[in-house]
């Protein structure tokens, strides 16, 4: 039986999980300060860089009540100077007597050093309360810090018969208005969004986050995988204020590269893996740029390549109550795929929710076990 999570820690987890603003590349953290008399003296969530971390926000709210208090925080407090001073210094200076943290920080600059600093100052420190929940909230952060790679989320909208467009290529719209709004909100909470060149040529998407029909203040990096140089210089993905990165192969035409760069986008030449851009090399480069979460939106060829390479960490599949039919209509995922059903990727920890008339299926892929 799982250990009970103390009420203040559960509150801190709720604060982190429901934070209104995306704070990447920092983790989403919640903190609660409980005064010596048992009352909640302050709460906080980490602010977007270079804003303060959750611990400092909660301590400022608590004021003098922090002296002798207990802090509950969803991640081990940092003990190093980054864009903000060490949180351990703020905790020690405020006179907090005890700190409970849910999970140890995987960042190599922390990773136990926060607890060590607090205990050296005489502050009792307890870890592990709500660890599973805290890891889930920051699943992308933990992957990035331990592997250097972004957390890859594959997202697609399909008909009941698995098609993402009609036989003509028309894909507007597979999903309903509620699902499309959900997708735009999702875009505000990721660092980069990726499509293949075929999607750009056929659909000409802008790939911006527009919740409520309005351009979000913070836009994800737009990434186009274009091995041979097919993206038109006038494509919408190259326009607007959001940054765009076009990953291409070593043999794409120099004049095409120049036209893409003239639009304001960055061209990133990468080696090939087979006939296409090496996706792992691309992920490594994005990871170096502090891209913590990458949303892959298609089309079927690029999604198939990510699945075939075992690079997908999470799946969001929107299933619409439509029947497209047509043998030539494109499917959501292409690539080599599974030769036998036993080889198919199955999802674990599956959840299903309604988005209007559509269903959102979310889960984590894991390869089939060997017989």
Long-range contacts (CB closer than 8 Å, 24 or more residues apart) made by 175-179: 175/318, 175/320, 175/355, 175/358, 176/320, 176/355, 176/356, 176/357, 176/358, 177/356, 178/355, 178/356, 178/358, 179/318, 179/320, 179/355, 179/356, 179/358, 179/360
Task: Tell me which H or E stretch contains 124.
Answer: strand 124-127
Give the angle subtended at the CA of 9 by the CAs of 6 and 15, to the nearest 5°: 145
Among residues 7, 43, 55, 178, the one annotated as catalytic is 55
Strand partners, 361: 317, 352
Task: Tell me which H or E stretch contains 251.
Answer: none
**Contact in structure between 88 and 117 (CB atoms under 8 Å):** yes
Q: How many angstroms from the chain centroid is the CA of residue 289?
A: 14
Phi, psi angle pair for 96, to nearest 5°: -60, 140
Closest CA to 204 of 222, 225, 226, 231: 231
Phi, psi angle pair for 300, to nearest 5°: -60, -35
> Residue 330 is encoded by which pair of tokens?
């494109």
Look at residue 308 and give its three-state secondary structure: helix
Phi/psi zone of residue 349: left (φ > 0), alpha (ψ -120 to 50 degrees), beta? Answer: left
Phi, psi angle pair for 172, to nearest 5°: -110, 105
**Contact in structure between 133 and 159 (CB atoms under 8 Å):** no
DSSP label at 143?
H
Active site (annotated) includes residue 214: no
Residues known to be catalytic: 55
């Amino acid at each position: 039986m799982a250990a009970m999570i103390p009420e203040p820690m559960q509150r801190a987890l709720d604060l982190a999980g429901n934070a209104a603003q995306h704070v990447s590349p920092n983790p989403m953290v919640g903190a609660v300060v409980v005064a010596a008399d048992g009352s909640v003296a302050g709460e906080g969530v980490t602010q977007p860089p270079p804003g303060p971390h959750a611990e400092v926000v909660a301590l400022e709210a608590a004021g003098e009540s922090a002296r002798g208090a207990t802090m509950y925080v969803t991640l081990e407090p940092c003990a190093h100077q980054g864009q903000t001073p060490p949180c351990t210094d703020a905790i020690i200076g405020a006179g907090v007597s005890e700190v409970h943290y849910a999970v140890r920080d995987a960042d190599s600059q922390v990773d136990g050093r926060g607890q060590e600093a607090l205990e050296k100052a005489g502050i009792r420190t307890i870890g592990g309360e709500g660890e599973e929940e805290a890891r889930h909230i920051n699943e992308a952060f933990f992957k990035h810090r331990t592997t250097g790679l972004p957390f890859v989320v594959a997202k697609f909208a399909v008909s009941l018969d698995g098609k993402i467009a009609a036989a003509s290529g028309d894909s507007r719209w597979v999903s309903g208005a509620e699902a499309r709004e959900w997708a735009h909100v999702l875009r505000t909470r990721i660092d980069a969004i990726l499509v293949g060149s075929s999607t750009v040529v056929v659909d000409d998407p802008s790939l911006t986050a527009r919740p409520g029909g309005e351009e979000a203040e913070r836009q994800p990096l737009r990434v186009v995988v274009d091995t041979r140089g097919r993206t038109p210089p006038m494509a919408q993905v190259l326009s607007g204020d959001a940054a765009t990165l076009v990953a291409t192969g070593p043999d794409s035409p120099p004049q095409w590269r120049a036209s893409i760069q003239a639009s304001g986008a960055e061209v990133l030449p990468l080696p090939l893996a087979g006939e296409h851009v090496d996706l792992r090399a691309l992920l490594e480069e994005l990871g170096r740029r502090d891209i913590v979460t990458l949303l892959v939106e298609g089309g079927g060829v690029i999604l198939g390549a990510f699945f075939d390479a075992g690079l997908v960490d999470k799946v969001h599949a929107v299933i619409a109550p439509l029947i497209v039919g047509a043998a030539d209509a494109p499917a959501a995922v292409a690539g080599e795929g599974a030769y036998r059903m036993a080889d198919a990727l199955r999802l674990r920890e599956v959840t299903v929710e309604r988005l209007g008339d559509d269903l959102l299926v979310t889960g984590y892929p894991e390869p089939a076990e060997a017989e």
